[in-house]
Amino acid sequence: MDVTFLAGMFQSLLKGLPLTLNLWLLSLAGGGCLALLLNLMRQSRVGNAVAGAYVFVFRGTPLLIQIFMIYYGLAGFGVIRHSILWPFLREPYWCGLLALVLNDAAYTSEILRGGLRAVPRGTVEAGRVSGMGRIAILRRITLPLAIRQALPAYSNEIISMLKATALVSTITLMDITGIARAAISETWRAVEILLCAAVIYLALSIIVTRLCGWLERRLSPWHFGRTTP
């Protein structure tokens, strides 16, 4: 066990942590907003078809193809290269972030849809009868119930997005995985480097899982056999 090598490796890999965290959190935020939008679109017939098609394509194809399509595929069109979007699409960071946001939105919108469906109609009706406006019903009845229902599935999605950020290393971004791949070609010590990188991701995912578990217990203590948080 070459401790000095491993220690040095950890230091190098952690330099990629800011980019990984950045992409992870922003893709969740962006994806979440887009998912809300998609669910709102489902109210109308046309919107429902569009949202359905969007979800079908983005959940049915690998993220890697989506990343390559956005980074290389779009750049092939002169129209794009001369548009106002080009300063963004020129940079691998924005292409990667866009791909992650679009991908996350598809999965999150389905999770949200499941959560919203689980809200009993009776409770919403009761709210209306009590004179609550639409916003109030959304805020005090629908969303709290939907979020509690969707939380276990969404915590899986959060971890999935963390793992997904590793794929942006294929378009030259130096996140943790990108630095690891470069280091492998420097030192030929692939297994040790990959294990170091794996440990970092594992640590992050365990922290998040614990946090989500805590949140679940606080929001729905009755699921875990207690009456109060």
Partner 1 sequence: MTLTRSTVLRAGLAAAAILAFGGPVLAEGKTYVFATEAAYPPFNMSKPDGTIYGFEVDLLAEAAKRAGIEYDLISQAWDGMIQGLVDGKYDGVIDAVTVTEKRLQVVDFSLPYTTGGSTFAVLKDAGIEIPGADSLVVLDDETAAEASIAAVAEALKGKTVGVQVSTIQADFLEKYLAPRGVTIRTYPNGPDVYQDLMNGRLDATMAAITNISAFLEKNGDEATTAGPNFTGGVMGRGAAIAVQKGDAELAEKLGAALKSMSEDGTLEALSMKYFKMNVTPKL
Partner 2 sequence: MGEIGLLGFGPDGWGLVLAKAGLMTLAVSVAAFLCGLVLGTLVAWARIGGNAVLRALAEAYTVTLRGVPDILVIYLFYFGGRQVVAAVGTALGFAGPFDISGFAAGMLAIGLISAAGQSEVLRGAYQAVPKGTIEAGRVCGMGRFTLFRRVIAPQAMVTALPGMGNQWQSVIKESALVSVTGLVETMRQVSVAAGTTQEHFLFYAAGAGIYLVITTLSDQLFRLAERRSLRGHPGTGTGA
Contact residues for partner 1, defined by CB under 8 A: 72, 75-76, 81, 90-92, 170, 172, 181-182, 184-185, 188, 190
What's the closest the beta carbon of residue 58 comes to partner 1, in angstroms? 23
CA–CA separation, 174 vs 27, rounded Å?
Answer: 17
What's the closest the beta carbon of residue 157 comes to partner 1, in angstroms? 28
Contact 20, 94 (CB under 8 A): no
* CA triple 11-209-30, angle to 5 deg: 80
* Residue 100 partner contact from partner 1, partner 2, none using kind-dependent CB cut-offs of 5 to 8 Å: none
What's the closest the beta carbon of residue 159 comes to partner 2, in angstroms? 7
List, in order, residues 6 or more apart from 48 with CB less than 8 Å away.
41, 42
Given the structure tokens 């969740």, which residue do they identify? Answer: 28
Q: Is 49 in the site for partner 2 (CB under 8 A)?
A: no
Where in 148-207 is the site for partner 2 (CB under 8 A)?
159, 162-167, 169-170, 177, 180, 184, 190-191, 194-195, 197-198, 201-202, 204-206
Contact 163, 7 (CB under 8 A): no
Tokens of 157: 């999605």
Q: Is 60 in the site for partner 2 (CB under 8 A)?
A: yes
Q: Is 64 in the site for partner 2 (CB under 8 A)?
A: yes
Go through 173-195 and write b for each residue having 16 or more CB atoms within 10 A of its CB, e for each that does not.
Answer: bbbbbbbbbebbeeeeeeebbee
CA–CA separation, 211 vs 172, rounded Å?
Answer: 32
- Crossing angle of helices 17-41/45-60, nearest 10°? 150
Please identify, using beta-carbon distances, which residue of 92 and 114 lies nearer to partner 1.
92
* Residue 201 partner contact from partner 1, partner 2, none using kind-dependent CB cut-offs of 5 to 8 Å: partner 2
Q: Is 211 in the site for partner 2 (CB under 8 A)?
A: no
- Crossing angle of helices 190-219/143-165, nearest 10°? 180
Contact 42, 225 (CB under 8 A): no
Scanning 3-11, 44-52, 57-65, 85-93 for contacts with partner 2 by CB under 8 A, the matching segment is: 57-65
Q: Is 40 in the site for partner 2 (CB under 8 A)?
A: no
Would you tell me which residues interact with partner 2 (CB under 8 A)? 56-57, 59-66, 68-69, 72-77, 159, 162-167, 169-170, 177, 180, 184, 190-191, 194-195, 197-198, 201-202, 204-206, 209
